[in-house]
């Protein structure tokens, strides 16, 4: 359906406050770091000795510490701002930056951007030869490399805002930058300790799996020295990465985020028991996963066990464990203030939960169906149509929740979709390896092959755009504005929310993550400027339609 639009521009007015500028600087530095890191990753790093090795090790740990420090500082600033007058002081500074009359307070300073680009070019050039030897002494090159990188970062901040604003922001934080050093150091210590626990955890997992499998496979043989489980038809080695500690770490992060987000609902300190229960549950489920892997392989489905089940069962187990922990915690009267209470506040929370589910469940259903299909495959995803069934089912169940969305679209949505397709194709040309039709698909009969391709195209053009736009633009982008996201008009969403949701959208697209960020920003800006969900869905569907055409007409199967 096409309707006229009163909008003359696709982009919201770019007025950035302090938070927006910080996020912009962080995003640019993060992207540049990832791109330049590829220039210094070479086999020679494994053979480094002397000063070069010490320098590389220090860089490795300093980088991790910086990430942990920035995370802890952000959390402490948020907590202090929500409970004291710091939030008021920060908002005043933010308003000063966004609304000050001086042009240099609101405009990007191009001269500093040029300085940043020049320094970045030199930094990238030195990165290619930093650890590869040459005529320049390593100490001199390393000193110049670090100095150039620091100067480039400072130039970027100078381009985004004047120095006196950054100093004012720093003064508002008080002693929090110093307090943030402790949790950051603790995070690194926990990370290092977890590495020491890998071998003992793998041994415990090996013992649990042995106890599980032996009653079902009496012929099971075990090699304690190599932690290998051997049946008549299959063998599995419980390596350190299979110890279950990665799942434990993910569960700890999930429980921490859950308790922080819903902290007003839970009774502390007893609610802290949720974390160890979740960690124990996922550790035991990891043993169940490995036991199932042994049984599937021993039953004669070695390829499914080694390829599909091995790669997906861990994520399936984590999702089930996380859902079980969250559901039980919500229902427990011993842990939750609002369990079994029918007051108005609780009913409002239930309404918000229903709205969240309506916007997220279609995408979650696609992801869950995809995990299940992968787990049951031997490499090629013959069960891809499960995604369509899952998405359509979720959309049908929550269809009434989308009644307040404007699904109309104009030529602008189609035009943005075409532009994103061109950008995506260009990135794919340089970053992706060309691929032909999968051999498993080519070996199918013409009818079966046509049916699979039709389902794959239908998902890409119809269900995936709707599900992803509901999740990233309908929910996440507006949820960053208000907890009552379904009451937020698209036109009131600012660039900060567009940027954050676009980054999260981009990182889900693998090697083409940067193209995904650009696409997410384009779809988000279109929805904000037009006020219509239909515009972003139309743009997304147009992009995917053209990509499907490129796959089928020109054999560019790497796009699928």
**Predicted confidence band of residue 45 (pLDDT cuts 50, 70, 90):** low
Q: Residue 189 domain-assigned?
A: no
Same domain, 164 and 281: no
Q: Residue 113 domain-assigned?
A: yes
25 Cβ contact partners less than 8 Å away, ≥ 6 residues apart: 156, 157, 160
Bridge partners of residue 23, in order along the sequence:
none
**Predicted confidence band of residue 46 (pLDDT cuts 50, 70, 90):** low
| C-alpha atoms less than 13 angstroms from C-alpha of 174 in its C-beta half-sphere | 13
Q: Domain boundary residue among 179, 207, 228?
A: 179
Tokens describing residue 47: 């053979």
Same domain, 161 and 41: yes
Question: Domain range for residue 60?
Answer: 18-179
Question: Is pLDDT above 70 for 113?
Answer: yes
Q: Residue 439 domain-assigned?
A: yes
pLDDT at 483: 78
Give yes or no for a contact between 525 and 490, defined as CB atoms under 8 angstroms apart.
no
Give yes or no for a contact between 168 and 93, defined as CB atoms under 8 angstroms apart.
yes
- What is the C-alpha separation between 114 and 110, in angstroms, rounded? 6
pLDDT at 500: 86
Same domain, 85 and 64: yes
Note the residue count of the chain.
Answer: 560
Q: Find the mean pLDDT for residues 52-66.
A: 77
Per-residue model confidence as pLDDT tens digits over 438-461: 888 888 899 889 999 999 999 999
Mean pLDDT of the chain: 81
- What is the C-alpha separation between 245 and 243, in angstroms, rounded? 6
Same domain, 435 and 528: yes
Lowest mean pLDDT among 70-79, 209-218, 258-267, 504-513: 70-79
DSSP string computed for 220-285: -EEETTTTEEE-SS-EEE--GGGSSHHHHHHHHHHHHHHHHHTTTTB-TTGGGGHHHHHHHHHHHH
Q: Residue 7 domain-assigned?
A: no
Per-residue model confidence as pLDDT tens digits over 324-335: 888 888 888 888
Q: Residue 5 domain-assigned?
A: no
Asked if the peptide bond before residue 549 counts as cis, ω within 30 degrees of 0, the response is no
470 Cβ contact partners less than 8 Å away, ≥ 6 residues apart: 358, 359, 360, 362, 363, 402, 533
Same domain, 326 and 377: no
The percent of residues above 90 in pLDDT, for the chain, comes to 26
83 Cβ contact partners less than 8 Å away, ≥ 6 residues apart: none
Q: Residue 522 domain-assigned?
A: yes
- What is the C-alpha separation between 94 and 307, in angstroms, rounded? 51
Q: Domain boundary residue among 148, 179, 210?
A: 179
pLDDT at 101: 39
**With left for phi above 0 and alpha for psi between -120 and 50, is residue 312 left, alpha or beta?**
alpha
Tokens describing residue 293: 């892997």
Same domain, 353 and 411: yes
**Predicted confidence band of residue 96 (pLDDT cuts 50, 70, 90):** very low
Same domain, 42 and 67: yes
Same domain, 399 and 501: yes
Asked if the peptide bond before residue 542 counts as cis, ω within 30 degrees of 0, the response is no
Q: Find the mean pLDDT for residues 272-283.
A: 90
Give yes or no for a contact between 119 and 151, defined as CB atoms under 8 angstroms apart.
yes
Q: Residue 186 domain-assigned?
A: no
Helix axes 385-397, 344-375, angle to 10 degrees: 170
How many structural domains are present in the chain?
Answer: 3
Same domain, 364 and 327: no
Q: Residue 128 domain-assigned?
A: yes
Same domain, 284 and 156: no
What's the start-to-end Cα distance of the chain, in Å? 28
Q: Domain boundary residue among 341, 373, 396?
A: 341
Same domain, 443 and 331: no
Same domain, 334 and 356: no
Give yes or no for a contact between 468 and 461, defined as CB atoms under 8 angstroms apart.
no
Lowest mean pLDDT among 111-120, 133-142, 290-299, 535-544: 133-142
**Predicted confidence band of residue 73 (pLDDT cuts 50, 70, 90):** confident
Question: Is pLDDT above 60 for 104?
Answer: no
């Amino acid at each position: 359906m096409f309707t006229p639009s009163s909008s003359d521009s696709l982009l919201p007015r770019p007025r950035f406050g302090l938070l927006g500028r910080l996020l912009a600087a962080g995003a640019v530095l993060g992207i540049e770091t990832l791109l330049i890191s590829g220039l210094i990753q070479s086999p020679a790093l494994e053979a480094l000795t002397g000063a070069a090795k010490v320098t590389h090790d220090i860089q490795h740990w300093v980088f991790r510490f910086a990430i942990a420090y920035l995370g802890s500082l952000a959390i402490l600033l948020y907590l202090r701002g929500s409970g004291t007058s710091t939030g008021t002081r920060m908002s005043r500074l933010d308003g000063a930056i966004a609304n000050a009359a001086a042009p240099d307070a609101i405009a990007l300073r191009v001269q500093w951007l040029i300085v940043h680009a020049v320094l970045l070019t030199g930094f990238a050039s030195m990165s290619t030869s930093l650890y590869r030897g040459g005529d320049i002494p390593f100490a001199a090159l390393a000193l110049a490399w670090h100095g150039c990188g620091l100067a480039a970062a400072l130039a970027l901040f100078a381009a985004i805002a004047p120095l006196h604003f950054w100093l004012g922001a720093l003064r508002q934080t008080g002693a929090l930058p110093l307090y943030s050093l402790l949790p950051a150091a603790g995070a690194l210590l926990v990370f290092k300790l977890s590495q020491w626990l890998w071998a003992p955890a793998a041994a415990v997992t090996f013992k649990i799996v042995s106890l599980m499998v032996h009653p079902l496979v009496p012929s099971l043989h075990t090699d304690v020295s190599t932690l290998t489980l051997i049946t008549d038809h299959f063998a599995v080695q419980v390596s350190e990465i299979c110890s279950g500690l990665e799942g434990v770490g993910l569960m700890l992060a999930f429980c921490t985020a859950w308790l922080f987000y819903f902290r007003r609902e839970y009774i502390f300190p007893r609610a802290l028991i949720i974390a160890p229960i979740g960690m124990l549950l996922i550790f035991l489920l990891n043993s169940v996963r490995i036991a199932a892997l042994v049984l599937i392989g021993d039953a004669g489905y070695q390829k499914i066990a080694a390829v599909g089940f091995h790669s997906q069962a861990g994520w399936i187990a984590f999702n089930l464990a996380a859902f079980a922990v969250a559901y039980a915690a919500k229902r427990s009267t011993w842990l939750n203030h609002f369990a079994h209470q029918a007051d108005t506040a609780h009913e409002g929370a239930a309404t918000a939960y229903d709205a969240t589910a309506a916007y997220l469940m279609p995408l979650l259903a696609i992801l869950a169906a995809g995990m299940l299909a992968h787990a049951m495959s031997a490499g090629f995803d013959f069960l891809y149509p499960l995604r369509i069934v899952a998405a359509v089912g979720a959309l049908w169940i929550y269809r009434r929740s989308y009644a307040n969305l404007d699904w109309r679209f104009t030529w602008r949505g189609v035009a943005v979709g075409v532009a994103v397709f061109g950008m995506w194709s260009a990135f794919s040309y340089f970053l992706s390896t060309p691929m032909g039709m999968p051999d498993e698909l080519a070996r199918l009969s013409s009818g079966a092959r046509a049916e699979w391709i039709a389902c794959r195209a239908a998902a890409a053009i119809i269900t995936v755009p709707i599900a992803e736009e509901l999740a990233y633009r309908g929910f996440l982008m507006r949820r960053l504005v208000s907890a009552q996201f379904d009451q937020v008009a698209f036109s009131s969403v600012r660039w900060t929310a567009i940027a954050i949701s676009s980054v999260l959208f981009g990182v889900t697209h693998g090697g083409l993550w940067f193209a995904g960020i650009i696409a997410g920003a384009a779809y988000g800006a279109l929805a904000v400027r037009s006020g219509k969900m239909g515009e972003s869905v139309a743009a997304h569907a147009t992009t995917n339609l053209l990509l499907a055409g490129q796959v089928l007409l020109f054999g560019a199967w790497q796009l699928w």
